[in-house]
């Protein structure tokens, strides 16, 4: 192990009871691996992959650079962090998140596993806000700051905080919250979308496949793939 760092809410000191402990270790392997034990999540990253993410301006890489606490191997970690370069634009990151959320919302009532759907909706919302802040070179990740960063008509900061917290819900969401998600994502319709490219994004394909598999709904998944 070359370095070990703590990231996420524990590193920001804004965690809640039951929050995960997220750790990332840089190691000599060739693939990204993850180990889960209770609320402790350990992610193993090869140095070259993390360096590549830094060079590409990846949002997760930015999060590590800005907020992680290095527990071991500080020299290695700081060398990697120093390679971070912002993208010229984060519009495509936003369009991926908006597109995925829209696909989930359109089929939400027919999905059996609401826990995964809710978690992905919250992820999409957070990604849009983080990408917007990164585009302005003022990256934010904490929930309180995220909830008040973008002013959208008919959505209060309290509404936004609830939507961010939806990731912890495993029950079906009332329509009023689905409506709020729709209001949020439609606010970003002005961003150009390359639908043929978005349909082939791995996170879109994997999420929709997983949601339909849980439903044993292969026919609808095949129809979705043929859009």
Each domain of the chain, given as residue ranges in start order, spans 3-81, 91-225
Secondary structure tally for the chain: helices H, strands E: 12, 5
Residue corresponding to tokens 């912002």: 86
If we measure between CA atoms, which residue out of 131, 128, 132 comes closest to residue 185? 128
Tell me what pLDDT residue 105 has.
96
3-class SS at 45?
Answer: strand
Tell me if residue 65 falls in helix, strand or coil: helix
8 A C-beta contact, residue 146 and residue 140? yes
Q: What is the pLDDT of residue 164?
A: 95
Whole-angstrom Cα distance, residue 107 to residue 45?
34
Q: What pLDDT, on the 0 to 100 scale, is given for residue 18? A: 73
User: Which tokens sit at 26?
Assistant: 């840089």
The CATH label, of 3.30.460.10, 3.30.70.20, 3.30.450.20, 3.30.1330.60, for the domain at 3-81 is 3.30.460.10
Order of all β-strands in the sheet with 33-37: 33-37, 40-46, 21-27, 3-7, 69-72
User: What is the 8-class DSSP label of residue 20?
Assistant: -
- Which token pair is 82? 């120093």
- The pLDDT of residue 208 is 85
Q: Which residues of the chain have pLDDT under 50?
A: 215, 218-227
Residue 162: predicted pLDDT: 96
Q: Give, in degrees to the nearest 5, the angle at Cα 122 between 198 and 153.
A: 90
Q: What is the pLDDT of residue 223?
A: 42
């Amino acid at each position: 192990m070359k370095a070990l760092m703590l990231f996420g809410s524990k590193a920001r000191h804004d965690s809640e009871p039951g929050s995960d402990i997220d750790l990332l270790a840089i190691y000599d392997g060739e693939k990204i691996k993850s180990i889960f034990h209770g609320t402790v999540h350990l992610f193993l990253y090869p140095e070259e992959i993390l360096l590549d993410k830094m060079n590409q301006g990846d949002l997760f890489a930015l999060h590590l650079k800005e907020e992680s606490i290095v527990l071991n191997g500080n020299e290695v970690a700081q060398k990697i962090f120093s390679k971070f370069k912002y993208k010229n634009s984060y519009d495509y990151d936003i369009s991926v998140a908006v597109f995925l959320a829209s696909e989930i919302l359109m089929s939400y009532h027919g999905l059996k596993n609401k826990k995964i759907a809710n978690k992905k909706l919250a992820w999409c919302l957070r990604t849009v806000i983080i990408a917007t802040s990164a585009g302005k070179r003022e990256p934010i990740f904490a929930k309180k700051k995220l909830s008040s960063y973008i002013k959208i008509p008919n959505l209060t900061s309290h509404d936004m905080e609830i939507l961010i917290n939806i990731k912890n819900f495993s029950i079906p969401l009332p329509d009023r919250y689905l409506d709020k998600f729709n209001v949020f994502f439609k606010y970003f319709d002005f961003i150009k979308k390359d639908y043929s490219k978005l349909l082939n994004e791995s996170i879109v394909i994997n999420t929709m496949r997983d949601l339909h598999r849980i439903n044993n709904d292969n026919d609808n998944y095949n129809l979705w793939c043929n859009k």
